[in-house]
Structures are given as C-alpha cells and as structure tokens.
Amino acid sequence: MAAMCLSSCSQVPAQLVWHRALWPHKAYVLTELRASKLPGHRYRIWMTSPSSQLLPLKPECVRELELELEGAPLETNPQPLPILSNPQDKKGPGPDGLVRDSRLLSYTGTVTGTLNRAAGLYELDGQLGLCLAYQQFHGLRRVVRPGVRLELQDVHLLQSVGGGMRRPMLAPCLRGAVLLQGFSRLAPETQPSRRAPGASLYEQLVWEHQLGLPLYLWATKALEELACKLCPHVLRHHQFLQHSSPGNPSLGLQILAPTLEVLVPPGCPGRDPRSEILEEPHHCPLQKYARLQTPCSFPTLAALKEEGKCRAWASFDPKTLLPLPEASHLPSCQLNQRLAWSWLCLLPSAFHPAPVLLGVLVPSSRKGCLRLQDQSGSLPCLLLAKPSQPLTDPGLIGCLVRAERFQLVVERNVRSSFPSWKELSMTGFMQKKQARVYVQIFLADALILSVPRPVLHSATSSRPPQTEPSLPEGPHIGQSRLFLLSHKEALMKRNFCVPPGASSEVPKPTLSFLVLGSWLGGTQRKEGTGWGPPEPREGEDSDQKVLLIFLRSSVRWFEFLHPGQLYRLVVPGPPTPMLFKEGGSSCVSQRPPELAGCASCLTVQDEWTLELASSQDIPEVLAISRALPESSLADLLSGNFTDSLVSFSAEILSHLWIKPGSSGATRRCVKLTVALETADCEFPPHLDIYIEDPHLPPPRGLLPGARVYFTQLEKKVSRSHNVYCCFRPSTCVQVLSFPPDTTISAPLPHIYLAELLQGDKAPFRATASCHVVSVFSLQLLWVCAHCISICPQGRCTRQSPACPTQTSISQASIRLLVEDGTAEAVVTCRNHQVAAALGLCPSEWTSLLELVRGLGRVALQFTGPGAQPESSAKTDEPLTLFLWTLCTSFSVLRPIVLSFELEKKPSKIIRIEPPRLQRFQCGEFPFLTRVNPRIRLSCLSIQEPEHPSALGALVSSC
C-alpha cells in the first residue's frame, strides 16, 4: 500500500451531499468501496457504490485487513517527491531570468478587503492577497466578503509576482481546500444576480487561456483600467466583460488578445482537474511562476495627453534648441523667433510600461478633426490607412482603435522676450506657453474593433459624440448618388449668402469647406439592404460637375474626403424628386466665384451621410483616372503665371513661425521649407511655403520629415526672382507619411564644383574638397541685440528713441574665393564659421572679438594685391595690419573641405549665365578662353582635410 496513491470519489447523486459533512482532519468510515482505475492515469481510486454508507470512525470497531487488488500491480513513481525550496533559490529562463517554485502551506486569516470580486481577488489581514480564481468558487463568491474568516489548506504562496501586484499572493489550486471558519458581521453587498459581472470572462482566462497567476493579475488590472476608460458611457459593463463565444467574442478579450498572444506560449496544455488533484509529484499552474514585468498599460487619453505636455515642457531647453556657437550671434528678434515653435515626438518606447492607445474614433463638428475619445476626454488624431493612403472610409466612425505603435506629437508655441543668448537660462523671459498635442497612427499598425451600438454619450460632454449617423430600425428608406471627388478646399470660416426668408440677424462666418466632384450615374433608391439601379438621367451631361458645401454638423466628414476617391451621398427618408439637381429643395445660390460652372450646388444637411463606394458600384468608374494632379517642375519654377495655382508633393525640411516686425513681416505667418518630390530630378529643389491668417494655426502633421501633398497653392515670385507659394482658401493639404521614428541624417554628397553648373541636376547642399585662393572681404562688428545698431565700447549708438537695452552681440562675415580645379566659387561664411575660415582656435577667436569691441566695427575689402580698408578702420592700426596679414597668409589660403549650400535656391527662375570669353596674358603670349561664371555658395562648415594634397603639404612647409 505504501507505493499506491488511492483516493475516493462518489458518482452517486444522492451521495454528493456528503461534501457538506466531510471536514479535513476528521476520521470517517466509508463502507462497500471498490477500487477503480481512471483512463489515462496510473493511480487507482476508491469508488463508492449505491449501498455505501458514511459513518463516523470508532477505532474500537475497526480491524485492519490486507488489501488485494485485481490486475497487475501499480507502477511506483521512481522519482522522489520534490523538496520545496526558497523561491529565490530556483533560477532558470523566464521574462526576467528567474523561475521560482511556489510554497505549499496552510493559513488562517480574515478577509479585510475585496480587490476584484468577479476575478476572485481579495485581501487577507491587510497584507496578503488571495486569488480564488484557480478553484471553482461559485458558492464562495456569495459568502466571501470583508470580515469572513477563512482556513486555507494546501494553498500556494507566491512572492514578488510582478504585473502590478506588490504584495505576496495566496492561491489555492484544485488540490487545496478553502474552509469557512467564521461569517462576517458586515451587511452583504447588494448583488441582484448570483454571479458578479464579468466572472465568466475571468474564468475563461484561467481555464481556457491557461494564464499563470502573474499574467492573470496583470490581465485583471488591465481589464479594470479598460472598464474605467470605456464603461459605462461608451460601453455597458456586460458588453465589455461578456463571455467569449465563437460567434460573439468578448470586446475586453479582443483588446488584450495581441498582448496575451505574445506572453502566453503556444501549445500550452489545458488544465486537467483529475491530474491536478491526483498526480504525484503535484503539477498545477501555480507550482512554478516567473516574475512578470508589466508588458503594457492602458492609460486614459487625458492622462496620456497630460504626460505628453509635462515631458514636452520638461525637455524644453532654449540652449538645446539654439546651440551656443550659433545663438551667441543672433539678435533678439531672430533669437525669439527661432524659439517660437518647436516640437517633440514621443514613441511608446519612451514610456515605462509602454502605453497602448485605445479610444473610440469620433469626428469633431467644431474643429473638423478626428478624435480618439474615452470617458476621460478626447485626443486629436491624424490617421493614415498606410503610407501615402489617406483615411477614406467613414464607416470607421464609432469603432474602437487599439494601437501599440503611434507617435505622440507635442507642438510647443512660446512667446518670449530674451534680450540675448546670455539670458536663455532665465525662465522669466518666457511670457506665454501653449502646447498642441495629438497622435499620429497608421491604421495598418492598429486593431480596429466594432463597438456595439448605440454608443452612449461621453461623460465629459452634455452632447453626444459625432458618431456615424445610422438609419432608423426597420425597413430603411432613402436615396443616394455616387460622385467622384476631384478637389477639396481648406477648412476655414466662410461667409455664405442668406437664403430668402431666413433670420434677419447678421450672419457670422461659419466653419465650412467646399468639395468639387462629378456625379456618376443617376439617383439610386433603397431596395432592402442594397441600392437599386440608377435612374435614367434626362437632359444631363455624362460629366456633370457638382459643388458640395459642408457646414455646421456636416463638417465632420472633412477628414474622410480626399481627391480621387469615389463616395456615395446618402439621404435618408422618403425619396424627394430633383433632390440632387439644380433647383432642388436643398440647393442654395451661394456658389463661390472661383468654382462657378457647376451644374449642381448642394448644401450637405446634418442628417445626410457619406459612404465609401467601390468601382463595382458603377462600371464607368473604371475608365476614370484617380491620380492626384501634379504640377510639372517647369511650371513650378517658371515665370509663367497663366496658371498661378500649383499642386505638388514634397517633404517638409523646416517649420518656422515668423512674428510681425521680424524679417520685414507685417503679420504673423508660418514659413515651411520643403523639398519637392519630382521623378525627373535627382536632387529636388527647395521651395518656401507661407501660411498666414486665416489659415493659422496650420493643419496638424506639418512636421519636419513628413511627406505632404499640397493642392492649389498660389505661386508667387519675389523681387529677387525666387519662387514661393502661399496658402489660399482653395488650398488643401494631405499628409502622405509621418516623420520617421529614427532620424538618421544622410551624409552630404561629395562633388566637384563644376557639377553645380548643371542647373537642376546639381544638389542644393554638398561637400567639396577645394583650396582657398583669396579673401574678398572681411567684416567684424558688435551690434545692439535689440536694434542692430553699431555698439562701440559695447554701447548702443541709437539716440532717438533711446534703445531700451544695452546688450551687444558680435557678428562676422567673410567672403572667400575657392576652386578645386574644375570651377571657382565665392563662399560666404558668417559668425562662428569665420573663425574656422581664418584658422583660429576658440580662445584666439574670442580674443580677436574683444579687440574689435572697442572700435565697434572693422571691415576690410581686398580688391587687389593689398588691403583697402574702409573708413571704419585705419591702415596703421595694429588690428587692421594683423587682419590684413592673416587674410593673405597660408593659414587662410589653404586646402579645406567645404560643406555648403547654394546661396540662391534652385527655385530661382533666372537661368544660369553661359560661359564668357576672357583674355589672359601668360608672358608674351595672350590667351582667350571660355570661363564659367563664379558660383555663389553659403558655408555650412569648414573642416581640415585628413590627407592634404601635395600642394597643401608644400604650402604648409614654406
């Protein structure tokens, strides 16, 4: 008998009540038992018969007999029972490299709190956690509450399980026992049903998904966070925590599924209750565990937005945004202008634990943008289906979006009055701070879940969110018509004509946008769940243009409408004749002049809806091109203004806010510098785009590194013959891709200077190995940081009115002639680049500037073999002689590696001058040759060559 493990069980229904009489550590007598073997197990168990009886044990009436079993003897287990060890002693593979064994013990304590009744989580004696989920405790759930005293036998003790739980946990498996030692004196909780809401879902996590205790504790905490985010104003608790079935999956489990699939190993065997009770050595889900590092969290949108703001302002450092070598030479207006706008992009990896973005997608009728919403609030979002694929399906409204990969963008706007770079560390000069927070998501990286309708209104607003309007229940009636969208205008406030009979009040500008498209086919009526055949079009052209006006609540469709897409305009209710034609009941005579000539002009009503149609809806769509219009490079950079509206795609290089009064600006605006995307140009030209009121603030997503498609910008030419563009009411912006997560700057191409004479084929920025031939001019000066007046001895010379500040800054410039054997170029170096051009170390450069401070300004013009100083300097002054000697020495006239950009942008419409004939005299012989025009460059940096040429080495040794 010592080698046999025998247990007893009953399969007689009348004997099942014995479990209420049996008590651990008490002795009983069971009569007329028989030994049986369960299929799949090597142990025998005692089985009762219908005539078996349960009697209390009387030792004087019991006689011990030798047991004889039929059949072959049972195999003994050659392995000894494992010795329970300290959890810290067992190490092995796991999430944090540590796998531990739980301890089996007995414990008696009092329930002091209910952590999660549906999940079976309680608090014992104020210091221990109790998890009853691994036992079927349906009856105990109605009894266990604070004040109940429990005796736990063969319960597992798990310490440091992680997953958001810090206290030790007690968890009985199916072999353990939970005994009720005393009832609670507290009043029972009012619970209408026997089972707590969501109890079946928690049981499913344990029994079907085989979650260990650390992962189960994290899952219960995550479900609590999700319930606080969504219930009860977005979802009902029973909708969110319902039991999953093949045809009706639980929404809560769908949200956790992507994380659980990664953490739960595939092919994990299911729980076998008989083995868990009978097997020796004991095996159960609680025997071994590993500390769980919290895999992710589901913060509220309000908390995520606030965290983004806090991190953005915590990382805002003017000295970081403006490095010292550059900032020390900037006047006050340029200094504050450079600080006016900045941005911060936060990835989920920047948080610990990584947040999972979750919210219901709703459109805003007040702003025209899309928002993710939960009970805490809303967060604006910019969505793309994929790179270069905009969001076009309005059916996504009201769906739940779950994203692990996203970009949390914080745009910082600062109004400051820093006198100079010396005060950048003083926060008192920052007068106003604003932040615009939004998220950027690719739907290809997100999980889209349908939310059971109807969606209830948000707890933070008295008005319901703008969910997708749905037709009433029952037989749907309505009519629709297909249209192909060709152009969409900007979302802005516009004035519209007041129709006859309207209110006499002065109309106010209304947020609206216009759409130009073409009707495809005739009107279709609702037939069951689909649409009937198009009605014949009498007297209509095959390409009938339509102008749709969206205002008031219909502004919610702005983010879903994009050129080149096919849509269906749906009007619910009884069919109305001539609804989509000129003179219909919804038509208004408010056609903008720039879009005149449309056969129909409709104002989209609030109850009308939009659907994304497909090419199968109408055959003639197949022959229509949906490509976005692009202006050619020749049209963009030419002086021809027959068509001043241009469209193109480009990558944003920089984003700069310009204040009134700075750089000659009369009003505030945003300047975008973009690189055009053209297939016929290896090096894309650069272009400036200006955004002014009433188009401010600019649309979301116009960040450096983003690819954007601009439609119908107005092309202009400056007085210096430079092409630039401006926003107009007809302009529309479509973001094609977000900035890359990792910004790795590509090295500048290394070229010969002659390649810059090839026009459009030349790069805008590059590097060249060249030699400094001569110095054309040098200027060193100290100016007032406020009014840029000359400051001798550090004092501003402006008299009327007197300058409010006496802070001076140094500025410098030098013009060099360089050549590399293929061409010549005039290079302009400014401020800290002048020190590198002169070959001075930082201490020497600082000493030179201090010598110039007394004079205020020193300028030299090198027009011949000698220096011709201007009136601000005297030829016999030691400083002038030193600069003349330095600029003509081999310390300056040396080989260098020059990084530069073109002084004139490639958007110049002036053609490159052809080579000119020039006469040279070499001894007694004259030569006539063609000489290319000198190229004008702006210096980016000057480096010394790693391997000087033979000429450079010879010059250095002289």
What's the CATH code of the domain at 699?
A: 2.40.50.140
Residues 522 and 428 grouped into a single domain: no
The answer to whether residue 61 is domain-embedded is no
Q: What is the pLDDT of residue 449?
A: 92
Residues 792 and 927 grouped into a single domain: yes
The answer to whether residue 462 is domain-embedded is no
In this structure, what CATH number is given to the domain that contains residue 572? 2.40.50
* Side-chain-facing half-sphere of 78: CA atoms under 13 Å: 0
DSSP 13: G
What is the per-residue pLDDT across 705-750, written as a single tens digit (0 to 9) for each? 999 999 999 999 888 778 899 999 999 999 999 999 877 777 899 9
Residues 727 and 688 grouped into a single domain: yes
Cα separation, 365 vs 604, whole angstroms: 13
Q: Which helix (H) or strand (E) holds 202?
A: helix 199-207
Residue 436 has pLDDT above 90, yes or no: yes
Tell which residue, 550, 649, 549, 638, has the closest CA to residue 601: 549
Residues 17 and 133 grouped into a single domain: no
The answer to whether residue 381 is domain-embedded is yes
pLDDT, mean of residues 466-485: 64
Tokens (6 digits) for 868:
């011709």
The answer to whether residue 456 is domain-embedded is no
- Domain boundary residue, one of 41, 56, 71: 56
Q: What is the pLDDT of residue 35?
A: 79
Q: Which helix (H) or strand (E) holds 895?
A: strand 895-902
Residues 226 and 120 grouped into a single domain: yes
Cα separation, 735 vs 815, whole angstroms: 41
Q: What is the pLDDT of residue 626?
A: 61
Tokens (6 digits) for 155:
């319960």
Chain mean pLDDT for the chain = 81
pLDDT, mean of residues 551-556: 92
Tell which residue, 604, 486, 491, 619, has the closest CA to residue 553: 604
Residues 308 and 276 grouped into a single domain: no
Q: What is the pLDDT of residue 458?
A: 41
Tell which residue, 267, 271, 161, has the closest CA to residue 213: 161
The boundaries of the domain holding residue 569 are 478-488+509-528+543-612
**Rounded to a whole number, what is the distance in angstroms from the first to the last CA of the chain?**
107
More confident call, 376 vs 574: 376
Residues 787 and 691 grouped into a single domain: no
The answer to whether residue 620 is domain-embedded is no
The answer to whether residue 243 is domain-embedded is yes
Residues 779 and 915 grouped into a single domain: yes
Instruction: Please give the backbone phi and psi of residue 132, each rounded to the nearest 5 degrees, phi first.
Output: -100, 10
Q: What is the pLDDT of residue 497?
A: 64
Helix, strand, coil shares of the chain, percent, nearest 5, are 20, 35, 45
- Structural domain tally of the chain? 6
Q: How confident is the model at residue 872 (pLDDT cuts 50, 70, 90)?
A: very low
Cα separation, 262 vs 206, whole angstroms: 17
Q: Which helix (H) or strand (E) holds 358?
A: strand 357-363
Residues 142 and 271 grouped into a single domain: yes
DSSP 576: -
Cα separation, 859 vs 872, whole angstroms: 7
Residue 822 has pLDDT above 90, yes or no: no
Name residue, tokens 């040098």.
778
* Side-chain-facing half-sphere of 220: CA atoms under 13 Å: 26
- Compute the radius of gyration of the chain from its Cα atoms: 40
Tell which residue, 259, 265, 306, has the closest CA to residue 402: 259
Rounded-to-10 torsion of CA 423, 428, 431, 432: 100
Q: Residues 122, 130: contact at Cβ < 8 Å?
A: yes
Cα separation, 217 vs 286, whole angstroms: 13
The answer to whether residue 457 is domain-embedded is no
Residues 6+ away with beta carbon under 8 Å from 955: 890, 893, 894
Q: What is the pLDDT of residue 239?
A: 76
Residues 807 and 658 grouped into a single domain: no
Residues 145 and 209 grouped into a single domain: yes
Number of neighbouring beta carbons within 10 Å of residue 328: 18
More confident call, 463 vs 246: 246
Cis peptide before 699 (omega within 30 of 0): no
Q: What is the pLDDT of residue 467?
A: 42
